[in-house]
């Protein structure tokens, strides 16, 4: 079935960016406040799922030529990697470090390795959700 | 801080993820998965010896001290099981290299085997009840994939049953955890042990304990084994061997841990219940093993009998019986893997799985026949093979506790194991050959080698039992004296 819903497609063009921005906002508010990689990833993937629903799979895959199974794998690699990274520095597995740095534009900024961990979680969530959606849609 | 403790889980996990990127390179996947398993074996041997010199090891993730953080605890019991898992998986991998075929190998077969091992090892090592749930799920998700991979009709039918039953039992697990957290307010196993001992194991806590018993008996096939024979006979041989060797053992491990560390104050309720369930399991499993004439079903019912037999040790609850159970657990992981591989090889060679359709295989494949005979003897507990010592100790412990009915059922079920396997042996290996020497499918050495290795392992485990007896004694001592475990986790500043 070919869907050609102009209103939905036009709205989606705008809404996808709002959802993506909200997802990033949720992601960065994480680890000290409510938010973080998991729900950030869920929101991000909901934007992608919306794109897949409104356009067909081929169009979106042409625009975003990414294998989402690999995205999930990269995510898990980040998660386990930050855990093992702590071992290499002689700390307990999964230890996280943070520090304050003077950055040119942002001024004094707190940088934490937990962001890498959360990024891994987000990627794993996005990869998994989109892969599930795509495999179900292939079956129908 | 002992980061080595987490390695038996992290090495397979990390390698599994890396292998996803190497999807087209099957050769590289084989080599790297084998490297990962060997590295795990080496790390585990190191941990095991470290425990003997330094006592129980623990690793607080991210430096969060117990009871607030999640931690891994390695004592002799868990580490022995991790070691056996790693060795058995390495040998089964060797078998799968030349048996599963490119259709599986291109569909992430090796990554999921490694994820399964990561989940199994994580379940053995974790010191936190919720983390145990998570590791169970890792293991189960990998096993869902492995059981459906290939997509044959029978696999899909059985996998529906398997997935539904496991999702249900996982839900019960979660409910049990919620009840326990609501009642006691902690999920760290050592902390739970302390608090349950402080408040006394009242009726409420005993009921929660029975919920855990229900969960783990669904997972391990104690009494609630109706899903097991079907699911274990559907997937390809290598996967079936992995399942038969590892999956039920994780449930058994969890049961041992829960009912020696947490709910050990009312043995006349909980442990009696385990005893009754074990007895019914052995009777039911024995009936199944002699009732069917499909090799795969018979072999799967043998798994059921063993689950009952091992839990006799927990039911009578004394140190001698627990020693026996640990020996038997290790023995059974090795020898069940061997049994599943042999049965699968027989079906691969003849293309048939019913007893009546096979005959005279020993003329065509003498080594296979003798290996099957050794397996039968080992499972029946004939010295000097590895089944003997475990049976001896379990029997001794049962006599010591005066549980003669359980003793009788346990040793009768051994007779049924012997009978059911001898039936396979006499029907399939003796008699007129059905395959003429000209068109017999060649049994490649690469298929035979893993079986021979496991056969050697059961012999070495039997003869060289002195070599592991120190570790097993230490494991049983820790299980029977929960305060040792609690001390190591809560009071020890390492």
What does the H/E/C string look like for chain A? CCCCCHHHHHHHHHHHHHHHHHHHHHHHCCCCCCCCHHHHHHHHHHHHHHHHHHCCHHHHHHHCCCCHHHHHHHHHHHHHHHHHHHHHCCCCCCCCCEEEEEECCCEEEEEECHHHHHHHHHHHHHHHHHHHHHHHHHHC
Residue B373 lies inside a defined structural domain of this protein: yes
- Over residues B54-85, the pLDDT tens digits come to 999 999 998 888 888 899 999 999 999 999 99
Contact at CB, B10 and A83, closer than 8 angstroms: yes
8 A C-beta contact, residue B220 and residue B250: yes
Half-sphere exposure of A8 (CA within 13 A, CB side): 9
Contact at CB, B62 and A96, closer than 8 angstroms: yes
Q: Which residue has the tokens 């019912």?
A: B301
Close Cβ partners of B63 (under 8 Å, ≥ 6 residues apart)? A91, A92, A95, B1, B69
The percentage of residues in chain A with a pLDDT greater than 70, rounded to a whole number, is 96
Q: What is the pTM of this model?
A: 0.94
- Over residues A81-139, the pLDDT tens digits come to 999 998 988 888 888 888 888 888 887 888 888 889 999 999 999 999 999 988 888 76
Q: What is residue A60's predicted lDDT score, i.e. its pLDDT?
A: 86
ipTM metric: 0.90
**DSSP character string of B370-411:** HHHHHHHHHHHT-TTSTHHHHHHHHHHHHHHHT-HHHHHHHH
Q: How confident is the model at residue A41 (pLDDT cuts 50, 70, 90)?
A: very high
Q: Which residues of chain B have pLDDT under 70?
A: 1, 492-494
Residue B277 lies inside a defined structural domain of this protein: yes
* Total beta-carbon pairs less than 8 A apart between chain A and chain B: 43
How many domains does chain B divide into?
Answer: 1
Residue A43 to residue B317: CA distance in whole angstroms: 51
- Chain A residue with CA closest to B2: the answer is A92
Name which of A76, A80, A92 is nearest B62 (Cβ-Cβ).
Answer: A92
8 A C-beta contact, residue B235 and residue B243: yes
- Chain B residue with CA closest to A82: the answer is B62
Q: How far off is chain B from A26, nearest CA to CA, in Å?
A: 24
Residue B13 forms contact with A (CB below 8 Å): yes
Domain of A102 in residue numbering reads as 6-139
Domain of B372 in residue numbering reads as 267-463
Q: How far off is chain B from A51, nearest CA to CA, in Å?
A: 26
* B251-276 burial code (b ≥16 CB/10 A, e <16): bbbbbbbbbbbbbbebbebbbebbbe
Provide the Cα torsion B202, B208, B210, B213; round to 10°: -130
Residue B338 to residue B341: CA distance in whole angstroms: 5
Q: How far off is chain A from B252, nearest CA to CA, in Å?
A: 28
Provide the Cα torsion B19, B21, B23, B29; round to 10°: -30
- Chain B residue with CA closest to A90: the answer is B3
How many domains does chain A divide into?
Answer: 1
Q: What is residue B492's predicted lDDT score, i.e. its pLDDT?
A: 63
- Chain B residue with CA closest to A81: the answer is B14
In SS3 terms, B5-55 reads as HHHHHHHHHHHHHHHHHCCCCHHHHHHHHHHHHHHHHHHHHHHHHHHHHHC
Residue A1 lies inside a defined structural domain of this protein: no
């Amino acid at each position: 079935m070919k869907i050609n819903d102009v209103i939905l497609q036009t709205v989606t063009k705008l809404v996808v960016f709002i959802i993506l921005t909200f997802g990033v906002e949720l992601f960065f508010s994480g680890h000290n406040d409510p938010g973080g990689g998991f729900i950030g990833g869920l929101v991000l993937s909901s934007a992608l799922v919306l794109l897949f629903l409104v356009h067909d799979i081929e169009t979106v895959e042409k625009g975003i030529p990414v294998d989402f199974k690999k995205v999930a794998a990269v995510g898990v690699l980040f998660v386990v990697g930050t855990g093992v990274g702590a071992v290499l520095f002689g700390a307990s597995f999964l230890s996280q470090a943070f520090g304050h740095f003077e950055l040119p534009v942002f001024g004094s900024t707190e940088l934490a390795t937990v962001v890498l961990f959360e990024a891994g979680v987000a990627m794993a969530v996005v990869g998994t959700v989109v892969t599930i959606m795509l495999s179900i849609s292939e079956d129908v | 801080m002992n980061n080595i403790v987490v390695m038996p889980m992290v090495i397979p996990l990390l390698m599994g993820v890396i292998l996803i990127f190497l999807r087209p390179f099957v050769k590289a996947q084989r080599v790297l998965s084998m490297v990962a398993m060997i590295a795990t074996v080496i790390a585990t041997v190191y941990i095991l010896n470290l425990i003997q010199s330094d006592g129980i090891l623990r690793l607080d993730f991210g430096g969060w001290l117990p009871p607030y953080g999640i931690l891994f605890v390695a004592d002799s019991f868990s580490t022995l099981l991790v070691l056996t898992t790693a060795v058995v998986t390495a040998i089964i991998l060797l078998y799968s290299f030349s048996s599963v075929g490119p259709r599986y190998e291109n569909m992430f077969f090796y990554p999921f085997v490694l994820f399964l091992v990561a989940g199994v090892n994580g379940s053995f090592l974790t010191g936190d009840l919720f983390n145990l749930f998570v590791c169970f799920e890792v293991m189960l998700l990998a096993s869902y994939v492995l059981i459906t991979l290939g997509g044959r009709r029978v696999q899909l039918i059985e996998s529906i049953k398997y997935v539904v039953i496991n999702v249900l039992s996982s839900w019960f697990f979660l409910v049990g955890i919620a009840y326990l957290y609501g009642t006691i307010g902690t999920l760290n196993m050592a902390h739970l042990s302390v608090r349950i001992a402080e408040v006394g194991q009242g009726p409420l806590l005993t009921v929660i304990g029975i919920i855990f018993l229900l969960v783990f008996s669904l997972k391990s096939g104690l009494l609630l084994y109706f899903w097991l024979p079907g699911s274990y006979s559907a997937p390809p041989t290598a996967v079936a061997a992995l399942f038969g060797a590892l999956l039920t053992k994780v449930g058994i491990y969890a049961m041992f841990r829960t009912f020696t560390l947490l709910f050990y104050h009312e043995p006349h309720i909980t442990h009696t219940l385990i005893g009754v369930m074990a007895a019914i399991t052995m009777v039911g499993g024995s009936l199944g093993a002699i009732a069917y004439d499909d090799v795969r079903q018979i072999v799967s019912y043998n798994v059921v009998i063993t689950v009952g037999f091992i839990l006799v040790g927990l039911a009578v609850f004394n140190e001698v019986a627990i020693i026996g159970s640990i020996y038997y657990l290790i023995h059974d992981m090795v020898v069940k893997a061997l049994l599943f591989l042999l049965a699968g090889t027989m079906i691969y060679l003849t293309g048939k799985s019913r007893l009546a359709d096979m005959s005279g295989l020993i003329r065509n494949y003498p080594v296979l026949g003798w290996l099957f005979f050794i397996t039968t003897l080992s499972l029946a507990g004939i010295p000097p093979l590895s089944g003997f010592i475990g049976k001896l100790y379990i029997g001794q412990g049962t006599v010591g506790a005066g549980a003669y009915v359980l003793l009788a059922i346990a040793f009768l079920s051994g007779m049924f194991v012997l009978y059911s396997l001898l039936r396979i042996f006499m029907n399939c290996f003796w008699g007129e050959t059905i395959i003429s020497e000209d068109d017999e499918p060649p049994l490649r050495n690469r298929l035979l080698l893993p079986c021979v290795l496991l056969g050697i392992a059961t012999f070495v485990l039997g003869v060289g039992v002195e070599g592991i007896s120190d570790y097993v004694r230490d494991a049983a001592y820790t299980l029977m004296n929960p305060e040792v475990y609690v001390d190591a986790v809560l009071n020890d500043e390492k």
